[in-house]
Structure formats: structure tokens, C-alpha cells
Amino acid sequence: MVTSRIPLIVLACTLTAGASACSLLDSADADAVVEIGGKRYDGKAGYTAITCSRQDGVIDLKSGEDGRPGLLGSISEDPAQPSTLTMVVDDFPYQATHGLGAGSDLGSITVASDGDDYTLTGTALGMGNSQQAEYRIEVRCGRR
């Protein structure tokens, strides 16, 4: 089997009070680490390319390819602000949310940073079966 990688280019746009702004985001972080439930997923289907960008204290994560979902998240560096993270493990979604409204918190999300390197840790809840899984995501994230 012959495989090839094509660099991922992501365009992010924001709409604020009727004005929009777009910027080109960094390409995928090939050195990212994804561990869910004690098992490594980086380099596996859905997790071979993790795109990360950061703007105004919010970290946006995305991965997935060949029709296989991986993770999707919008995580605030400020614990008082809303955050969401969804991960697919063996075709089953897990989710962690914080601050989306009364009674909406699922699992936990903790953010640690060292320059452009971010480590996200916490517990995600299996959607539909209420199983919990500890997770750790390490990724280099560009600023926009």
C-alpha cells in the first residue's frame, strides 16, 4: 500500500459585530500525543494529524481523516470560560464539557502550557454508556 501525506491548510474566520476576519492557521502537529483510557492513539486513524490554533485564550483542536473522526475541541485557557472536547475512540464518542450552562459539565478539562506547547488532561464521559476515560493530549499550538 502506498500512502502519502498532504499538508493540511486551515483557514479560520471569526465574525464579531458584523465584521469578519480570517487568518491562515499552522499546519498539523505531527508530534502530538493523544492518550485516552491509558492507550496511545496518536498516529492511528483519526489522530495522524492534529491541527491546533490559539486565539484570545481559546485553543481550537481538530483531527480526522479518511472519514474517520478523531477529536474536536474548543478549550479556554481561563477555567471560568466554556470549553468542549469530543474524542472518538474505537468509533465511540467521549466528551468533556465545562461552563456551557447549569448542569452541563461532563468530565473535566485541565490546561497546562509551556510556551506554544499545551497539555490537556482530564476525564471524558462516553456518550451513550456513561463510561469514563482519562485522557492526555500534548500538542504544539500556533498563535493567531
**pLDDT value of residue 144:** 55
The reported pTM is: 0.75
Higher pLDDT, 133 or 43: 133
d(CA 126, CA 144): 32
Residues contacting residue 46 through CB under 8 Å, at least 6 positions apart: 63, 64, 65, 68, 69, 70, 71, 88
Per-residue model confidence as pLDDT tens digits over 50-97: 889 989 999 999 998 777 788 899 999 998 899 999 998 888 899 999
* pLDDT score recorded for residue 72: 92
